[in-house]
Structure 1
């Protein structure tokens, strides 16, 4: 199958290379930002999943398995297929920001069999995100999946959490009693044969096959490695929570990074917390607020097992899928000086969240309530942040996951999928010639229709002007005066809602009908009006491509069933 991407949809290296070649050929002076893919590691075009046994203490209550997919671009076809002797398939077409829920037959839940053909494959014709949910009465867990392109061939096993009456005391651990059984490592294979090794022992996996290994603390810090990339899940079908009840506990393992990263721990996760370091095998208490480690760090508390997010992998925009009939929150970690510009969907967070500092750091965290049973996009205008989804159905227990990272580019306009492009061309020309030169690059002469955009562009141009000694003074922008009506207008056809003339508004009889950006005053990005036939360099621009944000109260897409 061939997939044709329009220019605004194509975000890969090929387009960046093509644009770079064009820029070199035309001897462009300055390229401030090439539009490359800004989407996060949580999105891709193919995913594999498996559902750990959710035993809980609710038998014979039924188990509900679901897959949540979100499309980033319009016209995205999503297909969900199961492995096994009787494969099931369901499809949906989604537009940007739309979510589709696929309910999966309970036949796909793993049992105690070491090997099973129970893999679910999710594909999209363009980038999507995927989360999974397993629910049996009050035993609920959710997880964000990595696309197959981001899966690794090696993972470090974390230490086993110390959970009273499940793993502690260790002498009582037995696989004959579900809540006292060992933790499980679930190896999920994609579409090729694989050989996976742990502690000197190897297992062979066929395409679409799952292998379960029962592990104990002697395995902590050891590496599980495969000949091909695979998904590794770590969890327990019925770990003790509170009041002698138990529930499902699991999370995907993250690959080791190879270099030390900094993890901050928000106090929102409260009491009875353990930090599990996968690379070293160390187990620590919540007294730490920051952790440095080259490998992934997991946080465990009653009902919750979740990966911490390293500061080096913070993002700008996140998708949070909430659970019906439960309390739902977004836990947000942000630089302390940027906490006032946080949005949920199209709105600033209101009422303003109560931020708490992470002791001894320049970061703060907040817990933001979210409506149940919907999709929310949490995004920051100016700073990179971290977001976790946390839910609670029964007091004292939590479930949740790191939120889906949709974008790593902060922007005041929303969730950026492809960043803005700004070019200052080397060749000078008249205003009319500058319009044509920009359009020859599939751009337009810039329209500064928002003071925040003006400040953003000014900072970028001024930094390049100073760092490269370019001696730029004035450049054409996309504002001119109508010869017919005498009114000033943007060639983008945006409303002229603000002006920033250096010497006051031009008079009606003024013969200078075209506007320039002036850098003469280093403290101000002012406008001047000049003769349209005079010579200057143009500032060319393409706005960012944004995710379509969910609309509160909008009807959700009908649930699709896979295998029923």
Structure 2
């Protein structure tokens, strides 16, 4: 009977310090079989900024364009034909582009009409900025997995889908050369493919596949359409693999209530890399799985080199968040009625945890022996929410329950910098425009970008500006300082995105260049040098002169999340 529950639901989500961006590419793997009628596919898109416009492309064709406001979420659904079931080349990639930062979450679901046969798979779609050219592939074999947890060989019918699959998507608008590195009979072999722009290739991936390398950025998805169970049931898994630069060395392996059997699977470029718990080295099985010393508690695991680590059990397949990639704020997207978040935080600051605008004060924490961390489980009511910590970095995992199985994975990291006032969706930023404009045109330009002309009203802000733009260009750029025609006094003028003037503020801090400002009505506006050797000093200038603007966009806090009307793709 144990095999009936094996992989009743498996999920693995990608993770990085931040998972938002403006450009994404993905695909829907096959769920069960291409002939299976009761499956659904969708993307959830969440906006992190105001006036967000995003476009979805499928089969290299624009199929929809939608608009969102900050914190709102919409769902885009796709037909069955969008699933990638065929091997080798396909044009069934899905691209999402946006004018501002968004988060994209993918759902694939099978529902045969009964609770026992319901299967949900979700994954965080990584922005193209997080993709790479080198990927290590977990050494996974379906028969090994079943035998590991059942203790007996898998029945014949489970070989219907005998191997996992890799979907490799070209993320660039140019031809991409992809190399598959395999270990066959103790010999390293390579197989090369050329993938046209924004297209994909799907290949079988047994335990012999070691690595995927490419000439340009690619997205790599590990998937299995039908991990077999008894009673002719099967379930898929989806794992967007991260490039090698997102590995770590220290991991907190969470204890998940109700999970009594689990194994670790490590992937590392260095064959000599080992895992240890309390200075005791973990010994891998012939299939590469490592056993935990205690299945009933959370544990701190260290790797001797850079590695990725996955927690595998009869019901879960979770990519673990390395300690160096803990974040301060996470977005959570749920799909089931029973919704929980598993949080790992520093014990000394565990009471500084919040969900949206609520300070969590009644959580029951369990200290993780031998570490500075504690963990807790929080019940969540909303289908979309966020959890943030005001003073330190945390790890957050999503746990859901369909009634017969628990599934889960890492939440979506939004920001790695703690903030006492909330979940920061977008950090403050200074940007130098590309086009020379007059001072008045520069003010309008920055307002149109949901910002304002930079106003370095203190030495700290001036230093932040200098550090962010960090240029050595021999030219000047406009800032939001100008002179009154009535009094000739200098003042800061700012404009909101709704074209409302903010109250003018007095000038208490200045950073004028030698001999500045000029005592002349021909220099009623202020610019700064873009050369760091000139210490970004200020000068007065004619407001009609053409200079590039320095725009400032304030930090943005994530508002409570509300869904908007879904978009259906015919």
Shift of residue 355, structure 1, vs aligned partner: 1.5
- Helix, strand or coil at the partner of 2:324: helix
| Separation in 1, partners of 2:234, 2:401 | 14
Greater shift in the superposed pair: 126-135 or 357-366:
357-366
Aligned residues of 1:250 and 1:305 also touching (Cα < 8 A): no
| Separation in 2, partners of 1:149, 1:164 | 36
Q: Which of 548, 557, 561 matches 2:564? A: 557
Shift of residue 306, structure 1, vs aligned partner: 2.3
Aligned residues of 1:46 and 1:123 also touching (Cα < 8 A): yes
> Match of 2:82?
108
Aligned residues of 2:55 and 2:62 also touching (Cα < 8 A): no
- State whether structure 2 residue 22 is matched by structure 1 residue 45: yes
Aligned residues of 2:48 and 2:426 also touching (Cα < 8 A): no
- State whether structure 2 residue 371 is matched by structure 1 residue 361: yes
Q: Which of 340, 346, 351 matches 1:340? A: 351
Shift of residue 75, structure 1, vs aligned partner: 0.9
Q: Note the 1:142-157 alignment, pairs <5 A.
A: 142-157=122-137
Q: Over residues 229-277 of structure 1, what are the superposed CA-to-partner deviations in whole Å (9 max), with x where a residue is unaligned?
A: 1011112112246887431112111122387521111112633222211
Q: Note the 1:442-457 alignment, pairs <5 A.
A: 442=455
- Helix, strand or coil at the partner of 1:149: helix
- Relative to structure 1, the CA distance from residue 166 to residue 91 in structure 2 (aligned partners, 3 Å threshold; closer, same or farther) is farther
> Match of 2:121?
141
| Separation in 1, partners of 2:56, 2:246 | 33
| Separation in 1, partners of 2:264, 2:324 | 19
| Separation in 2, partners of 1:394, 1:178 | 28
Q: Note the 1:367-382 alignment, pairs <5 A.
A: 367-371=377-381, 374-382=383-391
| Separation in 2, partners of 1:242, 1:285 | 25
- Helix, strand or coil at the partner of 1:267: coil
Aligned residues of 2:17 and 2:325 also touching (Cα < 8 A): no
Q: Note the 1:496-511 alignment, pairs <5 A.
A: none
| Separation in 2, partners of 1:116, 1:126 | 29
Q: What is the TM-score normalised by the length of structure 2? A: 0.64
- Relative to structure 1, the CA distance from residue 178 to residue 78 in structure 2 (aligned partners, 3 Å threshold; closer, same or farther) is farther
Aligned residues of 2:426 and 2:557 also touching (Cα < 8 A): no
Q: Over residues 146-205 of structure 1, what are the superposed CA-to-partner deviations in whole Å (9 max), with x where a residue is unaligned?
A: 11121010101112164216998998698x866552111211122321111113111221
> Match of 2:174?
192
Aligned residues of 1:167 and 1:182 also touching (Cα < 8 A): no
Q: Which of 311, 320, 325 matches 2:332? A: 320
Is there any run of 5+ residues in structure 1 with no aligned partner, and where? 1-38, 422-438, 447-456, 458-515, 517-541
Higher fraction of strand = 2
Q: What is the TM-score normalised by the length of structure 1? A: 0.65
Shift of residue 136, structure 1, vs aligned partner: 0.7
- Helix, strand or coil at the partner of 1:289: strand
- Helix, strand or coil at the partner of 1:296: strand
Aligned residues of 2:18 and 2:416 also touching (Cα < 8 A): no
| Separation in 2, partners of 1:243, 1:331 | 32
> Match of 2:290?
284
> Match of 1:527?
none
- Helix, strand or coil at the partner of 1:107: helix
> Match of 1:262?
250
- Relative to structure 1, the CA distance from residue 358 to residue 242 in structure 2 (aligned partners, 3 Å threshold; closer, same or farther) is farther
Shift of residue 89, structure 1, vs aligned partner: 1.2
> Match of 1:55?
32
| Separation in 1, partners of 2:228, 2:566 | 32
| Separation in 1, partners of 2:243, 2:155 | 28
Aligned residues of 1:68 and 1:132 also touching (Cα < 8 A): yes
- Helix, strand or coil at the partner of 1:217: coil
> Match of 1:8?
none
- Relative to structure 1, the CA distance from residue 178 to residue 253 in structure 2 (aligned partners, 3 Å threshold; closer, same or farther) is same
Shift of residue 354, structure 1, vs aligned partner: 1.7
Greater shift in the superposed pair: 302-311 or 148-157:
302-311
> Match of 2:73?
99
- State whether structure 2 residue 58 is matched by structure 1 residue 82: yes
- Relative to structure 1, the CA distance from residue 81 to residue 214 in structure 2 (aligned partners, 3 Å threshold; closer, same or farther) is same
Q: Which of 374, 382, 392 matches 1:383? A: 392
- RMSD over aligned CA atoms reads 3.5
- Helix, strand or coil at the partner of 1:339: helix
- Relative to structure 1, the CA distance from residue 336 to residue 207 in structure 2 (aligned partners, 3 Å threshold; closer, same or farther) is same
Q: Over residues 316-369 of structure 1, what are the superposed CA-to-partner deviations in whole Å (9 max), with x where a residue is unaligned?
A: 11111110x43221111111112111111111236x222222221111111212
| Separation in 2, partners of 1:97, 1:211 | 35
| Separation in 1, partners of 2:67, 2:414 | 19
Aligned residues of 1:54 and 1:139 also touching (Cα < 8 A): no
- State whether structure 2 residue 251 is matched by structure 1 residue 251: no
> Match of 2:402?
393
> Match of 1:329?
340
| Separation in 1, partners of 2:82, 2:179 | 25
> Match of 1:480?
none
Aligned residues of 2:247 and 2:322 also touching (Cα < 8 A): no
Greater shift in the superposed pair: 124-133 or 245-254:
245-254
| Separation in 2, partners of 1:147, 1:113 | 25
Aligned residues of 1:44 and 1:126 also touching (Cα < 8 A): yes
